[in-house]
Amino acid sequence: MAVITSSPAPSLAALRLAHGGDVAVADILSASGHHAAGDAERFRHHQWAVILITRGGYRVGLDPRLGFAAEAGDMVIMRPGTDHAWTTVGHPRGEREGVAARYVLLRPPSRLELFLRRPLIHPGYSLQRIGTGATWRRMVRCFRQMEAVCESNLPNRAELQLNLLEQALLWAGTVERAGVDRIDRRVKRAIDHMASRLAEPLTIEDLCRAAGLSRSQLAAIFEPQTGLTPMRYLERLRLERAMQMLRMTSRTIDAISAAVGFCDAKHFARRFRVIVGTTPSAYRRRVAADTDDDSVSRINA
């Protein structure tokens, strides 16, 4: 199911010189692994990767000044084509405990795409702090079950793994939702204003009035709490609504573009491709193909 090749690298300096290997997955692969303190590695992932760190921690990125740290209780999501270089060196827990994780590599169906396309904290990477409480334990169980299903001979093991991954991501969403519920009420007013007026040509001044803040005040509190600037957050809401309309309606691309607040359909298509990774038309075709495949699977079940 997967082709994984690598040669361990002893340090970030060595990682800068050559790739450890390439990871290519035909459909979906669930697995787990652990590395000792002082280990480092580099892969280029050609599919999506979802990593749930279960012990220790590591630093991600070739340049330690520009990378980020992740540890037990964190979920890391990598987009296709990500150059994944990491080391336990320089991470306090990683230098004591190494790092262990459960992970899944996959080509996601459209229904999972929205779960995976989260704000980036580093080129190719999203990070969510789950913590090591009850939600994290539920997610670990899902990942453990995915690995068992992956190693089985069940004829529908790919779909079972996808269902378990969807459960894990939904549990992660409960943590994310709780974070939104605790958000500053002024930021929430701005977000509510966006969500109720996506078709309107909103400006930063409109959002400031809704929040009751100046531009500098809104900028100072909005991005630290959401991970995005106000206008980028608005764009994300618009594109999420557009994806929903592409999945659930037969409206034209131009009509959808106008309905979510893009006055220029070409600009809408460009931004959709940058954020979602494909054109609106190709996204709709893929959703239709996934739906047809699901229908066939139910008929043959």
CB 135 within 8 A of CB 170: no
CB 113 within 8 A of CB 286: no
Q: Give the pLDDT of residue 184.
A: 85
Residue range(s) of every CATH 1.10.10.60 domain in the chain = 185-289
Residue range(s) of every CATH 2.60.120.280 domain in the chain = 2-181
CA dist 231 and 215 (Å) reads 12
CATH topology of domain 185-289: Arc Repressor Mutant, subunit A (1.10.10)
Domain 2-181 has CATH 3.20.20.140: no
CB 47 within 8 A of CB 124: no
The per-residue pLDDT for range 138-162, each reduced to its tens digit, is 999 999 999 999 999 988 888 899 9
Q: Give the pLDDT of residue 143.
A: 97
CA dist 150 and 134 (Å) reads 24
Q: Give the pLDDT of residue 300.
A: 39
- Read off φ and ψ for residue 168, nearest 5 degrees: -60, -45
Q: Which residues in the chain land under pLDDT 70?
A: 1-26, 63-65, 176-182, 289-301
CB 204 within 8 A of CB 215: yes
Answer whether 0.75 is exceeded by the pTM: no
CA dist 171 and 274 (Å) reads 27
CA dist 223 and 191 (Å) reads 12
Query: CA 253 from chain center: how many Å?
Result: 25
Helix (H, G, I), strand (E, B) or coil at 279: coil
Q: Give the pLDDT of residue 119.
A: 74
**Scanning the structure block, which residue is given the tokens 């996204």?**
283
The per-residue pLDDT for range 231-240, each reduced to its tens digit, is 988 998 898 8
Q: Give the pLDDT of residue 16.
A: 37
